[in-house]
């Protein structure tokens, strides 16, 4: 299958590190040293995961105007605004396409690849030919900024991708392989990152365990998917990791002995945008991917979950 188009949406409100220094005394230097984050985006009072996903679709339509033949909508998020009228249904209503599957899933920050894998399954069963994949996170709705351990990590944003069973345009990205899995038995997985709306909201009580497992799994999955396709690290043009922490991303790069310029990141100016983060990186850089390039997207989510996707131009 192929990625035929991708776009993203970011809220207008920028929250710099100085906000947290005024709020709870965390200096910008302290935040940058531990996370790499300088600023992040925050949804306004009238925005949510559904509305941000629609804005990402609108940006997609600027270059890819006709979505009338979309026959599947798959959305992913762990910060739902509405658990009944999901992002997928909201998008279907906006597009006005009747009687097509509209589903939503969550596997924390690895949800991007699980959504892509679900599309792959629909294609394999000949139940769909062109899918709209939506990733949208409203972390700040569940976050407590005053928490000095993790309140400064989170940002908001959304992504829209057109995924087709057959190649549509000459410059489409081919999805060579997707691997996903759960690692709930690793470390303190079910205690490391939580989002409990009725019991404290978004929290990360075991960040060190997240760091270790994220580095290990994303490094391992990158090497595995390259090997599965007869490639090695020297064949890798770009690496996109989950945007949780710049130190994690750089640790993965070090584990792989990959030149730093091949690692694409946006956490410095967006913060942790959940499952949308790696999709936004792809959207920001897709025009720089040239013929013959190999791109690996590798992700890790709380719970734990993991995955890797190999793209070929």
Mean local confidence (pLDDT), 248-264: 97
pLDDT 10s digits, 60-97: 999 898 899 999 999 999 999 999 999 999 999 999 99
pLDDT 10s digits, 183-229: 999 999 999 999 999 898 898 888 899 999 999 999 999 999 999 99
Mean local confidence (pLDDT), 242-261: 97
Q: Which two tokens stand for residue 233?
A: 């690290």
Q: Which of 72, 66, 67, 59 has its CA nearest to residue 9?
A: 59
Mean local confidence (pLDDT), 110-134: 98
Fold of 173-312: Peroxisomal Thiolase; Chain A, domain 1 (3.40.47)
Q: Where in the chain is the domain with CATH 3.40.47.10?
A: 2-164, 173-312
CB 8 within 8 A of CB 273: no
Phi first, then psi, for residue 264 (nearest 5°) are -100, 130
pLDDT 10s digits, 290-306: 999 999 999 999 999 99
- CB neighbourhood size of 198 (10 A): 5
Give the pLDDT of residue 208.
Answer: 93
Phi first, then psi, for residue 239 (nearest 5°) are -120, 130
User: Over the chain, what is the mean pLDDT?
Assistant: 97
pLDDT at 170 over 90: yes
Report how far apart, in Å, the C-alpha atoms of 223 and of each of 209, 219, 290, 304 are: 21, 7, 22, 19
Give the pLDDT of residue 200.
Answer: 87
Name the pLDDT band for 38 (thresholds 50, 70, 90).
Answer: very high
Note the CATH architecture for domain 2-164. Answer: 3-Layer(aba) Sandwich (3.40)
């Amino acid at each position: 299958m192929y990625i035929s188009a991708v776009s993203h949406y970011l809220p207008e409100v920028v929250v710099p590190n100085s906000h947290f220094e005024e709020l709870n005394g965390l200096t910008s230097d302290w935040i940058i040293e531990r996370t790499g984050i300088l600023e992040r985006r925050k949804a306004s009072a009238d925005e949510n995961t559904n509305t941000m996903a629609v804005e990402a679709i609108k940006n997609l339509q600027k270059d890819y105007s006709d979505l009338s033949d979309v026959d599947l909508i798959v959305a992913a998020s762990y910060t739902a605004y509405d658990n009944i009228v999901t992002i997928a249904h909201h998008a279907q209503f906006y597009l006005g396409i009747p009687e097509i599957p509209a589903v939503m899933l969550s596997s924390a920050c690895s949800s991007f690849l699980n959504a892509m894998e679900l599309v792959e399954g629909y294609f394999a069963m000949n139940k769909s030919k062109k899918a709209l994949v939506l990733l949208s996170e409203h972390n700040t709705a569940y976050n407590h900024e005053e928490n000095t351990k993790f309140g400064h990590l989170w940002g908001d944003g959304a992504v829209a991708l057109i995924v087709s069973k057959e190649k549509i345009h000459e410059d489409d990205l081919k999805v060579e392989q997707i691997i996903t899995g759960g690692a709930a038995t690793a470390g303190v997985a079910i205690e490391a990152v939580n989002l409990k709306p009725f019991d404290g909201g978004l929290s990360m009580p075991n960040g060190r365990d997240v760091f270790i497992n994220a580095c290990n799994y994303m490094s391992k999955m990158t090497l595995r998917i390259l090997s599965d396709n007869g490639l090695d690290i020297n064949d890798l043009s770009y690496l996109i990791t989950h945007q949780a922490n710049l130190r994690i991303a750089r640790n993965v790069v070090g584990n792989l002995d990959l030149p730093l310029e091949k690692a694409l990141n946006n956490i410095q100016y967006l913060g942790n945008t959940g499952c949308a983060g790696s999709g936004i990186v792809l959207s920001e850089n897709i025009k720089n991917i040239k013929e013959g390039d190999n791109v690996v997207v590798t992700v890790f989510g709380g719970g734990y979950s993991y995955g890797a996707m190999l793209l070929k131009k």
